[in-house]
Structure 1
Amino acid sequence: MPSPANTTVVVGLSGGVDSSVAALRLVEQGYRVRGLFMRNWEDDDTATVCTAEEDLADVRQVCSELDIPLHQVNFADRYRQQVFDHCLREFEAGRTPNPDVLCNREIKFRAFVDHALRLGADYVATGHYARLGRDADDRVTLLRGRDGRKDQSYFLYMVGQDALERSLFPVGELDKPRVRALAEEAGFDNFGKKDSTGICFIGERDFRGFLQRYIATAPGPIVDTEGNTLGEHQGLSFYTLGQRQGLGIGGRAGGGTAPWYVVDKDTAANALVVAQGSDHPALYSAGLEATELHWIAGSPPAGGEPLRVTARIRYRQPDQHCTVTVEGDRARVDFDQAQRAVTPGQSVVFYDGDRCLGGGIIRERIHHGAA
């Protein structure tokens, strides 16, 4: 890397504390830093517009404190076409997609990188809690963030080598309390701002009410694992495996008081399958089938041999030991211990220690005894 004084870095500033401190650290290290605020959602009511304006005000204050220029760009059309529409199709198919994973690939590390290069950037930076390294072949490796509670490598497994080569993660070595302390010391108004949650770039919503604006409601039966009808659902798209809330069914005579959980979706019959108890066997899977594989190094390790790695099937899940058998763009994952609520549409991400190897989209669950 050239010396910082001769290196221009465009930082994606969201208005949050993490990206703000990313910019701060780069300025302190002597880089030529520019801020970029992305607008990626416009198909909405005034509440979201107000939130975006509040975020922009925080970005402006940070750029003023750091004395760096601020650029703005609108990726709303691209976000709608390449992220949101894809997610709607997944919901309509009865799966539960992860918009953050796709948003990172298509927007934050593709559209953003391309725009930053046009602005004269040598590198881009974000506030992700992740780190980068190099392997024996000098390829970029993606490593977990130092703060295990905030590590975001799970959401970055689809980012390609070209984008990672031009990326910096300045807060990857820090923990969240230190990030907030640095922001307060720097005079940033957002040092105590709550972490963003909800759908990437869309924010916190009444999930069902939001989706109903875009997906047709198709009510159907709620059934138990024996096929008995217990109630009516509002559409398979609005439920996910392992869900307990919002089912609208209570106890049954002789059935005990244990809560009901979603354990499957029968799309052919438009039926939502539920079972009682948080540890019901129907909630557990011995493994899974994944497709749309992406490997950080460009290809899977071990030359096609089964991999002994750890995996996560959801963000912040403890690592699970497993064997991964790869065949082209498909992988079978056999877990050492059965996993709860393996959810088609979500991502399975593979690790070798701190190194994120890649991952794929969960398509099918493998039950005990399946060949």
Structure 2
Amino acid sequence: MAALRLVQSGDAVAGLFMQNWADDGSGECRAEEDRRDAVAVCGKLGIGFHFRDFSREYWDGVFAHFLAEYAAGRTPNPDVLCNREVKFKHFLDAARDLGAEKIATGHYARIAGTGGRWKLLRAVDRSKDQSYFLHQLGQAQLAATLFPVGELQKTDLRGIAREAGLPTHDKKDSTGICFIGERDFREFLGRYLPARPGEMRDPAGNRIGEHPGVFYFTLGQREGLQIGGVRGRAAAPWYVVGKDVANNVLYVDQDTGSPYLHSSTLWSEVAHWVAGSPPSRDFECTAQTRYRQADEPCQVTVAEDGALSVRFQRPQRAVTPGQSVVLYLGDECLGGAVIARTDAPLEQSIPEQAA
């Protein structure tokens, strides 16, 4: 769709397809199917097609970090890292090597420029907005990028693609982590992080069951715990409410609204600012700690080392170390950072994990 929009505007366009994951024989990698679709679209539009394999760059810059974070008990977001380390780095360089002045992607977001300064804005279709995943971009990357679909509604795009006869007009949007596809997450992760069984306990320390490895689970998770009937407990779902990585203990509770899942303050790693610097050292804005979350008002304090303290007006559920907190002023994405820790009760009581 991005290519179609540019062709319709009279721009000189060529297609550049990148492969980020080598086929591992599982049948789940869709790179070849996606490549064929890209070739078909370029053929329909009458534009050139180019291919680059960034599998090694993806492994080194994204997947190795993904595994290290899970091994440490955190829950990383590889899409954020892929945008920073591959799509708007190696892919951008490859496009320039082909003579391109700019790259255009199908991300649902917008870019606004004034006086040589660039802003990253939410997409018009808020239900599809992807600025959360793009918050690590900077001025140089935005200056060299176009988001042609960010001004349109998703439903309008489908109609435009259908009218243009694009072979991908009814193709489903990709979901989940790209290199895992539809396969079982635990099975995939187990190829790289062998099982390390340990105890599951409730917040009071009572043994509830056994887990295969704390790194297979994330805060708020319900699926996959495989907790049967527990004597003296109601027949209600269990949720992950804490992880003690050092002692290999997974904490669970039965209440989806458990106080052990909630926090009011988070502390981050060093933040990235789209503009190059924060609006001030202490300011109010809204934040998202997960994709498609509603805006949450907060107070942000920037420490001397560039890390953040973010205090929310109301407690937040399952704020997860390793994920990103992304900051907004209205539609403008200011930037964000990786969440390091929170003031959730169990996290505060496990100093080894919070360190």
Per the normalisation by structure 1, the TM-score is: 0.90
Aligned to 1:329: 306
Percent of residue pairs identical: 54
Q: Measure the CA separation in 1 of the matches of 2:340 and 2:175.
A: 25
| Distance (Å, rounded) in 2 between the aligned partners of 1:201 and 1:169 | 24
In the alignment, what sits opposite 1:11? none
Contact 1:103 1:200 in 2 (8 A): no
Kept after mapping to 1: 8 A contact 2:15/2:42: yes
What is the aligned partner in structure 2 of residue 231 from structure 1? 209
Partner secondary structure for residue 336 of structure 1: strand
Which of residues 101, 107, 126 in structure 2 aligns to 1:128?
A: 107
Indicate yes or no: 2:6 matched with 1:26.
yes
Q: Secondary structure in 2 aligned to 1:90?
A: helix
Q: Runs in 1 of length 4+ with deviation above 3 angstroms?
A: none
- Report the number of matched residues: 345
In structure 2, give the amino acid aligned to 1:214: Y
- Matching residue within 149, 161, 169 for 2:127: 149
Corresponding position: 1:105 with 2:84: yes
The equivalent position to 1:293 in structure 2, one of 258, 263, 271, is 271
Measure how far apart 1:46 and its partner are. Answer: 4.7
Cα deviation for residue 38 of structure 1 reads 0.6
Cα deviation code 1:316-364 (max 9, x no counterpart): 0000000011113210110001000010000000000000000000010
Match of residue 7 from structure 1: none
Structure 2 residue identity aligned to 1:105: R
Aligned-residue offset at 1:366: 1.6
Q: Give 1:15's aligned residue.
A: none
The equivalent of 2:288 in structure 1 is: 312
Unaligned runs of 5+ in 2: 349-355
| Aligned match of 1:17 | none
1:222 aligns to 2:195 (yes or no) = no
Report deviation, 1:37: 0.8
Tell me which residue corresponds to 1:166.
144
Distance 1:100 1:262, change over 3 A: same
**Which residue number corresponds to residue 182 of structure 1?**
160
Offset of 1:200 from its aligned partner? Answer: 3.3
Separation of aligned partners in 2, 1:57 and 1:360: 36
Answer whether contact 1:324 1:331 (CA < 8 A) is retained: yes
Separation in structure 2 between the aligned mates of residue 45 and residue 237 of structure 1, nearest angstrom = 25
What residue identity is the alignment partner of 1:330? A
1:91 aligns with 2:70: yes
1:272 and 2:250 correspond: yes
How far is 1:257 from its partner? 2.2
Deviation at 1:253, TM superposition (A): 2.8
Secondary structure in 1 aligned to 2:215? helix
Counterparts of 1:23 and 1:176 in 2: how far apart (Å)?
16
1:57 corresponding residue in structure 2: 36
Question: Counterpart of 2:317?
Answer: 340
Q: Which amino acid aligns with 2:118?
A: V
- Give the aligned partner of residue 138 of structure 1: 116
After superposition, the C-alpha distances for 1:248-269 in whole angstroms (9 at most, x for unaligned) are 1134233212211000101121
**Does the aligned pair in 2 maintain the 1:297–1:357 contact within 8 Å?**
yes
- Cα deviation for residue 197 of structure 1 reads 1.0
- Greater alpha carbon shift after TM alignment, 157-166 vs 307-316: 157-166
Question: 1:121-155: CA deviations, max 9, x gaps?
Answer: 000000000001135x6311000000000000000
CA distance in 1, matches of 2:26, 2:340: 37
Give the match for residue 353 of structure 2.
none
The 1:75/1:202 distance shift into structure 2, 3 A limit, reads farther
Alignment-mate amino acid for residue 161 of structure 2? A
SS at the partner of 2:110?
strand
Code of the residue aligned with 2:204 in structure 1: it is: E
Query: Residue 47 of structure 1: SS of its match in structure 2?
Result: coil
Contact 2:21–2:31, Cα closer than 8 Å, also in 1: no
Q: Cα RMSD between the aligned structures? A: 1.3
1:5-20 equivalent positions in 2, closer than 5 A: none
Alignment match, 2:97:
118
**Is the 1:251–1:258 contact (alpha carbons within 8 Å) kept by the matching residues of 2?**
no
Unaligned runs of 5+ in 1: 1-20
Q: What TM-score results when the alignment is normalised by the length of structure 2?
A: 0.94
